[in-house]
Structures are given as C-alpha cells and as structure tokens.
A and B are shown apart, each in its own frame.
Chain A
Amino acid sequence: MDGQNIITKPDQARLMTAFETLLLFNENYQLTNNGLAESVTQDSPTQYTIKLRKGIEFQNGKTLTADDVIYSFQRIGTKAYGLTGYAATATMDIAAMKKLDQYTVQLPLKTPDSTVPQTLGSYTFNVVPVGYKAYPAAQVGTGAYKLKSFTPGQQSVHERNPNYWRSGQPYFDTVTIIDYSDSTAQVNALLGGQIDAMTDLPASQVKVVQARGMGALVSKTGGWLPICMAIDIPPFDDVRVRQAMRLIVDRKGMLEQVSSGYGFIGNDLYAPFDPGYDKSLPQREQDIAQAKSLLKAAGKANLAVDLHTTDGAAGMVDTATVFANQAQAAGVKINVINDPNFYGNQYLKLAFSVDFWGTRAYLNQVQQGSLPTSPYNETHWPPKTGTGSNFESLYNQALAETDAAKRTQIMHEMQQAEYNVGGYIIPFFGGLIDGYAANVKGLKPSKGTLNLDSFGHGFRTVWFS
C-alpha cells in the first residue's frame, strides 16, 4: 500500500481511504476546491500558489503544513521510486518549490503547463506527511480512515478516523477491502450479502442484481478498452495494416456484445469529455471491403496474428474475443491469448494487445500513454517520421498555451494525427458499472476514473440506510 502509487484497483480503493489530494474532481469530472487546498491560483504561466486549509491533521495528530506538501511532491518527483504520478512532474520545478508560510506553497514550473490543476486533483497526487514511506511503514494520511490491518493481495481493514477534518464524516466505522481475482465470486458475494459493494459489475449481471433489490451504479465514464497496435512492430509498423484493422471493427456490435449496450461508440480517440475533443473528425464505420484492399496493398492479405489480453478489467477478454470473430470477415485470423502474466515482463512490449484505461482529460492522457516518456505507452506512439512525428512538440506547445481556443486547435491537430495513423482501436466507451447492496446510499454516477464514484469519495459520501 502506497499513498502515491497504484498498480491494481484494490490499490486505488485502499489509497482513497487514507489519503487525499489538494483539489477534488466532482461527479462531472470538474475540478473543485473541496480538497486539502483552500485555493490553487495561477500567478503566471510558470507559477502556481497553493494555499492549504488550516487545521487539518494527519491521522497521527500532526498538522498538515506546507512542508508536507513539498515532501509529497519531492517524493513523487523522485525518478528512482517509479511512482505512478512521476511523469506528471516533468514540467514542475520541484527543487525550487518554496514555503511561503506555514500553509502556503509556491510551485514554479520549468515550462508552462495548463494541466497542473488536473494533476493536483488526480488520485496519484495524494499528500503525505514528511518522512512518509510505503507499507509496511505506518500509513498516515489525512483521509477518513486509518489502516488497521493489511494482508497484501488479500484484504485490508480500515477504521474510522475520529479526528477527520470534515466534521460529520465518515459514516462507516470500518471499511474492509477485499481483493477478488474472479468476478463470479465477487458478484455472488454481493448477492449473498457477504460484501456491500463491488467494482466492475459485468454488464450481464445488472439485471440479476436489480432483480434482488440491489443497485447497479452505471457511470457513463470515459473509460476505454483499447485494442493496441504497436506502431513499430510488424505487421503494425505498416500504417495500412493499422488503418485496415480500425475499419474491421463493428463498433455498435462490439458495444452491444461486450457491454450489453451500456456506453457509447468510439472513434479511435480518447478523452471524449474533454472540451478539446475533436468532434469534427468523421465517425469511423466498419468497412470490410476497404480493410481487405488495404491489407492486400500492404501484402498482408490473410494476416494471422496473436492478440494478448488478460482479465484485468471487465470486458478486456470479451473485446478481444469479439474482435477476433469480427476479423474473420476480412480474412484476418486473430488468435486470442488470455495470459495471466499479461502485466509481467512482456507488458508494453507486445505487438497487439487489449488494455484498459480510465477517464482523463486529453492532455493528461497523452502524458500517461502517448509520449515516449509515458509510463503506459502500449502503442509506442508517436512515430519518429512522417505524420505525427511532431506530436511531442505539439504537446509541449499545448501545455504552455494559456489561450484556451489556441490550445484546442493544437489538441485538434494532435488528435488528427492519432486519428489517421495512430495505433489505438477504440471501439466504444463502456462506462463503469458497479454493484452495491440495497442499504448503501449516497453513490452517484460519476464521469471520473475511479469506480464506485471514486469509492464514495474515499468512503466519505456513502452511508447505510
């Protein structure tokens, strides 16, 4: 357990119990000042000032001060730690952060970066006390629950923090987080009353759960399950093959089969809720004839290829299976490999795989998955030559651009490159479906990345009736 690092979804839940961010996203994925920071103001394109709320205490009684914020940033910014939020610190000049007073921090940037507020609201940027270390060291944060016990890979118990700064919250005495490797077991545990809520309820189970008087939280998020083609590994190094693959997929059919219709179809571009999303790009439709001719032109008619995936998130394997079936129509033979060690050594080195992502703003997503420095760049984008080779410089321009309209234009240019020659096939956005027991109240559908309405905002905004 690490307040600033996650690998799996249970990690996300655990982190949310004890740690908090400076800013908060609400259900509409809009930033608010409801976090640890009273205000975050941009003094100049390369400087932000963070003002903390006064009187917030960590779970060990120590008051939250500017020193803790600086330590938190330093920790994330240390490359050797390999924390999830590291890539986002690229533009920050953490070494030059200044403590203006007990509760105020100045954050200078190396280059202008308009995405800093989003980063401050990301669950990977939690504030930890000075000297904080990951489990098995004591897990002390500002959050609503203290860690009581933890068996890694199995379960953790968290108990109410009586000293929590938001008075009145939280409502639960204890929160127990259990790791399940099997969604069948999860669903049945929910139906049997052994657990009160679960993440990633399979779409097929919504009817079952509702028939039992329980709730299915359907959040129309921007979460996506891309089919990733590495643009530098044959056969996908030929752009015609990539374009052909994108034309093979029947998006409506895939949405129906994998997600039971929950969600909306995609156009091979991510971040659909970002104001800068390029709606002008024509919606791709299935075109088998064109796909076949493209493959033939590339010399890859009757292509046979392996598609790797795993049971990492609901719908991953099904997406692969359905795509393999659809590809037969174009003479392409796809062999789906469901690999339990998918996230092991070969992750990010595969030519063809299905992965999963949550909701993010466009530029934040680019930084996480579409740059050479990104931690999770499955497609090995951007290309070194030709269309899209200026992607990274465009990104830096967008970060620095303070004028929203101009920034949107840059983002459109980036998206056009990805739309034309990129490595992602994004057939649909399936949304997050979670399940909860009848007596759990307060959950609201959220457009954010985390399940269960950000786990009830750290299990604070939900209660038993």
Chain B
Amino acid sequence: MSQVSSDWVADAEIAPPLPVVHGTSLLRRSLRLWRTRIGLALLGLIVLLAIVGPYVAPYGPSTPVGAPNSDPSGKAVLGTDYLGQDVLSRVLYGGRSILVMAVLATALGLVVGIAIGLVAAYSRNALDDTLMRGMDVIMALPSILLALVAVAIVGPHAWVIVAAIALTTVPRIARVTRGTALPIVERDFIAASEAMGVPRWRILSGELLPNCLGPLMVEASLRLTYSIALIAGLAFLGLSPNPNGANWGTMIQQNEIVLAVQPWGAAAPIIVIALLTLGTGLIGDGIARTAAGIDRARGEE
C-alpha cells in the first residue's frame, strides 16, 4: 500500500488488490489451509449451539433453578446467574438473536453495497463521484455511534439494529466492490459486451460481479465478524430487542457485577462470542491468504 489513494481509506482492513480469481474455486482452495478449517469448525460449532441449543437446554431461559450466583453444581453445570437462572441454558438460548440479526445485517449490507459499488464502477462519471461521497459521509461516523444514534431515536427494535448495521456495512462493501471492479470495467471484453448490446445489468452481474468475489468474500467475513461484535456490544449496553430474554451480550452485562463471585454467568457468553468471532476472523484470513497466493500445495503454511 505505497499508493496514497485519492479516497480515504477509512478501513485499514481493505485487502490490497487481489488477482482475479473465481469465487468458488477460491473458497475451495482456501479450505486447504488449516486456519480456514479451524475457523469453519469454530463457526459451525457456535452456529450449531445457537440453533440447536434451545432444544437441548436442560432448563428454560428464565426458570429459577437455585439461589442466585451459585457455583456450578450437579443441578446447574455452569452455576446460576444473578436471578438464579441456569447459565448453561441461557447460553444455549442466547445465540439465535445475535446470529440472526448479524447475518441479516451483513447480507443486506452486501446486497446494497455490491449494487452501489458496481454501479459506481461502471458509470465512471458524476454518479460514481456522488455515490462515493455519500459512502464517505456514512463512514465519517464510527459504526457503533451510528447504531447508537439510530437506537436512541427509534428504539432497540430488531429491524432498527439490523438496518443500522447494514448501513455501516454498505459503504465498505461498496468501496471494495468498486475498487475491484474498476480495473475490470476498463478491460476490452466489457467494451465488447457493450458493443454487442448485452444489457447493462447482465454485464454487471454476469461479468463484473464474479470477478469481485474474492475480495468481497474477505470483506464480507470481516463485516460479519464486526456485525456480531457490534450487536453483542449493543446488547451489552442494554440495547437489545428483548432485554429480558437470554442473549449473550445482555448476559454479560447482567452478570459482570458478580464476576468475582460467579464468573461463569459472564464468562460463558464471553467465551462463546470470542470463539464465534475468532471463527469468522480465521475464515476471512484464510480466504485472503489463499487469494494472495500464500496457499501451499501441502495445505499448510
């Protein structure tokens, strides 16, 4: 990155321009790296926990099973929380909300961001400029601040949180898309397609998009990691759609005060969130390394 970009690089994590590699083969090749495999395993484990959890939980999320803040026992494997509810059960119930919102927000941000990025790259005129300035304005606020302001005004409803986080995802995705698509747009085969009368949207989706998939996948996994962190962070601040329900972020807030006495109430959700974000982070890193050619035939680095 010895080039000073004429745009602001508001996110240091934008990967350097990657060679154009087709999406699915990139994914397959990245799976040869142990780090991608570990990442996938972690992600799979936690997702499984979140989805299947409520069906295997020993108790309901708000069933009192003992004195508040009691130590792990035969009855409650991880002890009880500040209201005497079973920590393990609450952890098993507490992932769905976060995961669903994070995935939705990232997906929404992807769709809108890709669209904007492709259009901007393809038009190469005033539209490009306007769109990108718009993206700059959104990026001028730290994501968490944007989410907080949105929640402060409208309330911590699920759709508000998803929309706010999607909004912070859009500009970064748009940048990456535009950055990868721009050199391709200048290539001859695009001009040829245009001359042949191929409809614009077909050009965008059929020829530009597939070539952007590599860096997009990296950016998407980064954004997913960040969305999870942000949603858990909002819940930690007490801002979640159902503040009384089981939610990893809320659990941390409720039980932080008794860390010295019964650490599991806060430690269990902390561990789970940590493993989840490590998983998505590893996957993203694996894809990035593969695309950058660090991939070795032996399948290890």
Contacts and interface: CB of A to CB of B under 8 A. Distances in A.
A260 B257 contact: no
A45 interface: no
**Main secondary structure on chain B at its contact with chain A?**
loop
Interface string A183-200: 110010000000000000
Interface string B234-275: 000010000110000000000011101100000000000000
Given A187-B257, A205-B257, 5 more contacts: A204-B68, A205-B258, A208-B258, A211-B260, A256-B64
Interface string B82-112: 1110000000000000000000000000000
A261 B69 CA distance: 12
A321 B83 contact: yes
A260 B244 contact: no
A204 B261 contact: yes
Interface in A311-366: 318, 321-322, 324-325, 336, 338
Nearest to B260: A208
B62 interface: yes
B84 A321 contact: no
9 contacts: A184-B256, A204-B82, A204-B257, A204-B261, A205-B258, A205-B261, A260-B67, A324-B244, A325-B62
A208 B256 CA distance: 13
A253 interface: yes
B299 to A, nearest CB: 48
Interface residues of B, number: 16
A318 B83 contact: yes
A325 B245 CA distance: 10
A324 B261 CA distance: 27
Interface of A: 183-184, 187, 202-205, 207-208, 211, 253, 256-258, 260-261, 318, 321-322, 324-325, 336, 338
Contacts of A184: 256-257
Question: Which 9 A-B pairs rank lowest in CB-CB distance, beginning with the nearest?
Answer: A325-B62, A257-B84, A208-B260, A257-B83, A184-B257, A204-B69, A204-B258, A208-B261, A207-B261
A257 B68 contact: yes
A253 B64 contact: yes
A196 to B, nearest CB: 20
A321 B244 CA distance: 7
Contacts of A338: 238, 243
Contacts of B261: 204-205, 207-208, 211
Contact of B83 (A205, A208, A322): A322
A159 to B, nearest CB: 33
Interface centre among B238, B244, B261 (most CB of A within 10 A): B244
Contact of B69 (A207, A258, A322, A336): A207
Contacts of A258: 83
B71 to A, nearest CB: 10
B250 to A, nearest CB: 11
Contacts of B67: 256, 260-261
A211 B258 CA distance: 13
A187 B69 CA distance: 16
Given A260-B68, A322-B83, A183 B62 contact: no
Interface centre among A207, A208, A211, A257 (most CB of B within 10 A): A257
